[in-house]
Chain A
Amino acid sequence: MKLPPLEYACPASLSEAVALLAAGGGDARAIAGGQSLMPMLAFRVVAPTLLVDLRKPPELKEIRISADGVRLGAMVRWRDIEDDARLAAAHPLLKAAVEHVAHYQIRNRGTVGGSIAHADPAAEMPGICVTCDAEIAVIGSAGSRVIRADDFFVGALTTALEHDEIITEIRLPAWPANRRWGFREFSRRRGDFAMAAAALFYDQDAGGSAVNAHVGVIGLGDRSRRLPEVEAALNSQVIDEALIERAAEITSATVDAQEDIHASAAYRRSLAGTMVERALRSAAA
Chain B
Amino acid sequence: MPTNFEVNGKPVSVTVEARTTLADCLRHHLRLTGTHVGCEHGVCGACTVIVDGYAVRSCLMLTAQAEGTKVTTVEGLSNDEALTPLQASFRKHHALQCGFCTPGMITTAHALLSEEPDCDADRVRDVLSGNLCRCTGYISIVEAVLDARSAYKKPA
Contacts and interface: CB of A to CB of B under 8 A. Distances in A.
Contacts of A2: 19, 24, 40
Interface in B39-85: 40-42, 45, 48, 54-57, 59-62, 64-65, 67
Interface stretch (A4-12, A222-230, A240-248): A4-12
Contacts of A191: 129-130
Nearest to B47: A105
B60 A34 contact: yes
Nearest to B58: A105
A3 interface: yes
B56 to A, nearest CB: 5
A6 B64 CA distance: 12
Contacts of A189: 129
A109 interface: yes
Interface stretch (A16-24, A38-46, A128-136, A212-220): A38-46
Given A42-B40, A43-B41, A191-B130, A104 B19 contact: no
Interface in A185-242: 189-191
Contacts of B102: none
B59 A38 contact: yes
B54 A79 contact: yes
Interface string A152-187: 000000000000000000000000000000000000
B120 to A, nearest CB: 15
B94 to A, nearest CB: 24
A190 B129 CA distance: 7
Given A104-B55, A105-B108, A38 B18 contact: no
A105 B19 contact: no
Interface string B118-139: 0000000111111000000000
A35 interface: yes
Chain B interface category by residue count: 20 to 34
A38 B64 contact: no
B64 A53 contact: yes
A51 B41 contact: no
B54 A108 contact: yes
B89 interface: no
Contacts of A105: 45, 48, 55-57, 108, 130
Contact of A10 (B59, B64, B128): B64
A261 interface: no
Contacts of B130: 102-106, 191
Nearest to B129: A190
Contact of A104 (B17, B41, B60, B112): B112
A111 B57 CA distance: 14
Contact of A38 (B24, B48, B61, B112): B61
Contacts of A106: 42, 57, 60, 130
A1 interface: yes
A53 B68 CA distance: 14
A232 B40 CA distance: 46
B62 A34 contact: yes
B15 to A, nearest CB: 13
A55 B125 CA distance: 30
Contacts of A51: 18, 62
Contacts of B35: none
A108 B56 contact: yes
Contacts of A42: 40-41, 59
B62 A103 contact: no
Nearest to A103: B130
Q: Which 3 A-B pairs have the closest CB atoms?
A: A103-B130, A3-B19, A8-B18
Interface of B: 17-21, 24, 40-42, 45, 48, 54-57, 59-62, 64-65, 67, 108, 112, 125-130
Given A34-B62, A190-B125, 16 more contacts: A2-B19, A4-B19, A6-B19, A34-B61, A34-B65, A35-B42, A39-B60, A55-B65, A104-B55, A104-B112, A104-B128, A105-B48, A105-B55, A105-B56, A106-B60, A109-B61
